[in-house]
Amino acid sequence: DTAVSQTPKYLVTQMGNDKSIKCEQNLGHDTMYWYKQDSKKFLKIMFSYNNKELIINETVPNRFSPKSPDKAHLNLHINSLELGDSAVYFCASSPQPRAAGSTTGELFFGEGSRLTVL
């Protein structure tokens, strides 16, 4: 069973469109993240949710809106797509660092969703 799964794996779309990427984790973790990997492979955190609550919001344009319907899901919706949004978006999850049996905060990543904006 895949621990952190993202769909779709590939997404090609036109500028100006709106698109969503879905993420689900079956690890029972409380915290989920979205990271963006740009064309130079640089990974940067975008958002983090803990039990459906937003706890990290880096300086991301408000065209990006994360939504967490429950603690196992964190979706990313992007409005009015721009060329610069082309990247690989990674979802990740982690247990709470101080939870019993926690592996103290390592992140478990999905396989990524490659978004190409034309």
Partner 1 sequence: AQSVTQPDIHITVSEGASLELRCNYSYGATPYLFWYVQSPGQGLQLLLKYFSGDTLVQGIKGFEAEFKRSQSSFNLRKPSVHWSDAAEYFCAVGAVFMEYGNKLVFGAGTILRVKS
Closer residue to partner 1, CB minimum distance, 14 or 39 = 39
What is the residue type of 95? P
Partners of 37 in the beta sheet?
43, 88
Among 17, 79, 80, 104, binds partner 1 (CB under 8 A): 104
Which segment (20-28, 59-67, 69-77, 96-104) binds partner 1 by CB under 8 A? 96-104
> Smallest distance from the beta carbon of 72 to partner 1, in angstroms?
15
DSSP 68-116: EEETTEEEEEE-S--GGG-EEEEEEEE--TTSTT--TT--EE---EEEE
Question: In b/e form, how buried is each residue of 27-59, taking b as 16+ CB within 10 angstroms?
Answer: eebbbbbbbbeeeeeeeebbbbbbeeeeeeeee
- The two tokens of residue 28 are 């029972």
> How far apart are alpha carbons 28 and 38 in whole angstroms?
29
> Which 72-91 residues touch partner 1, going by CB under 8 A?
90
Among 30, 68, 81, 87, binds partner 1 (CB under 8 A): 30
> Smallest distance from the beta carbon of 108 to partner 1, in angstroms?
8
Count of residues touching partner 1 (by CB under 8 A)? 29
> Which 42-71 residues touch partner 1, going by CB under 8 A?
42-45, 48, 50, 55-56
Binding site for partner 1 (CB under 8 A): 4, 30-31, 33, 40-45, 48, 50, 55-56, 90, 94, 96-98, 103-112
